[in-house]
């Protein structure tokens, strides 16, 4: 019994502690807390900077799906997409946005104050009096605004006021070990040496052209072979039969069939074709009589009729 009481007490104690942690995430009466920072806030020219924004909302007052972020980091550009992660802690939701920034354009290069003349004479100051070369630039981005979609208009949850971001030049104009006599850029009119190649560009181009032609040979040969086969098949195809020859072959086929109806129909077709070609009236009459006069047409008689017609002067193939 005592053990059970102790366990219940520990559970209630832990629950109470968890509730205190949740209350500390957002002050009483507030729906959201917004914080942000630039990491790092001082960087060398061209190095990436991460803008991180943390938003904690009370789900009882704000739907995390309605949270929107508005930022403006010009002249810096966004690299890739803004990463967004969410984590639920009790009745609160922590949303973290991470945006990678980078600036490689002219606006991020430290500027020269005045018309600078750089000294090339050893022992003299690098810059004349009242002239200087900046080694860093400072940027102050507009505040980031976190809103929640609501009717009739959006509700502002908070703002992030960014600390100044400084971009430092990679050239130390006052370090003689870096810039020599003070000017880091060297020009010469000496022509560059002729480039050397492992493979001559002309030989390489001709080789690639030959390879392309070789690759085209296979589909060309396949097309030629297909056309040749098609022409051969067309030339070797059996000649078309005349209507009379088709009728004669139909009678030959029906003579081998046991069906009397098929034999009669075949003989009628033959008689019709003979009439259409103005054939011998006796052969027309004979074909029709075999077809419809009793007894049923015999196979031998039908074969003999076909042979007689073919031996006559009637057109046939």
Half-sphere exposure of 179 (CA within 13 A, CB side): 18
Whether residue 164 contacts residue 138, with contact meaning beta carbons closer than 8 Å, is answered with: yes
Total-model pTM: 0.46
Question: Tens digit of pLDDT for each residue in 182-200?
Answer: 455 556 667 778 888 888 8
d(CA 110, CA 170): 10
Of 69-83, 87-101, 235-249, which range is least confident?
Answer: 235-249
**Comparing C-alpha atoms, which of 47, 25, 24 is closest to residue 34?**
25
Average pLDDT, the chain: 77
- Is the confidence at residue 180, as pLDDT, over 50? no
- pLDDT tens digits for 250-294? 888 888 888 888 888 888 888 888 777 666 677 777 777 777 778
Would you place residue 4 in the very low, low, confident or very high pLDDT band (cuts 50, 70, 90)? very low
Say whether pLDDT at 156 is over 80: yes
The CA distance from 220 to 77, in Å, is 51
Q: Residue 64 — φ and ψ, nearest 5°?
A: -55, -30
pLDDT score for 236: 61
Q: What is the pLDDT of residues 135-150, one digit of tens each?
A: 678 889 999 999 998 7
Q: Which domains are delineated in the chain?
A: 26-105+137-171 (2.60.40.3670), 243-311 (no CATH)
- State the burial class of residue 134 (Cβ atoms within 10 Å of its Cβ: 0-12, 13-18, 19+): middle
Model confidence over 45-76: pLDDT tens digits? 889 999 999 999 998 888 899 899 999 999 99
Tokens 């001559």 sit at which residue? 200
Secondary structure of residue 243 in the 3-state scheme: helix
Answer yes or no: is pLDDT of 209 > 90: yes
Q: What is the pLDDT, as a whole number, of residue 127?
A: 52
């Amino acid at each position: 019994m005592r053990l059970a009481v102790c366990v219940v007490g520990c559970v209630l104690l832990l629950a109470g502690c968890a509730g205190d942690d949740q209350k500390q995430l957002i002050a009483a009466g507030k729906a959201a807390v917004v914080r942000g920072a630039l990491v790092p806030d001082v960087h060398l020219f061209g190095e990436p900077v991460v803008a991180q924004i943390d938003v904690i909302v009370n789900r009882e007052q704000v739907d995390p799906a309605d949270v929107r972020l508005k930022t403006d980091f010009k002249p810096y550009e966004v690299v890739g997409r803004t990463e967004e992660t969410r984590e639920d802690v009790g009745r609160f939701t922590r949303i973290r946005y991470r945006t990678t920034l980078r600036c490689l354009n002219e606006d991020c290069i430290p500027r020269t104050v005045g018309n600078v003349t750089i000294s090339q004479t050893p022992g003299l100051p690098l810059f004349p009096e009242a002239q200087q070369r900046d080694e860093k630039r400072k940027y102050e981005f507009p505040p980031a605004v976190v809103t929640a979609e609501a009717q009739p208009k959006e509700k502002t949850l908070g703002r992030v006021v960014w600390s100044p971001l400084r971009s430092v030049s990679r050239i130390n104009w006052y370090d003689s070990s870096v810039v020599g006599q003070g000017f880091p850029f060297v020009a010469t009119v000496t022509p560059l040496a002729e480039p050397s190649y492992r493979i001559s560009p002309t030989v390489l181009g001709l080789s690639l052209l030959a390879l392309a032609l070789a690759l085209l040979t296979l589909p060309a040969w396949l097309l030629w072979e297909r056309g040749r086969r098609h022409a051969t098949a067309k030339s070797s195809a059996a000649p078309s039969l005349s209507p009379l020859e088709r009728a004669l072959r139909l009678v030959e086929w029906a003579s081998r069939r046991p069906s009397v109806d098929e034999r009669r129909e075949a003989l009628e077709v033959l008689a019709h074709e003979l009439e259409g070609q103005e054939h011998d009236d006796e052969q027309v009459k004979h074909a029709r009589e075999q077809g419809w006069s009793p007894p049923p047409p015999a196979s031998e008689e039908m074969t003999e009729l076909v042979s007689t017609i073919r031996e006559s002067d009637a057109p046939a193939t």
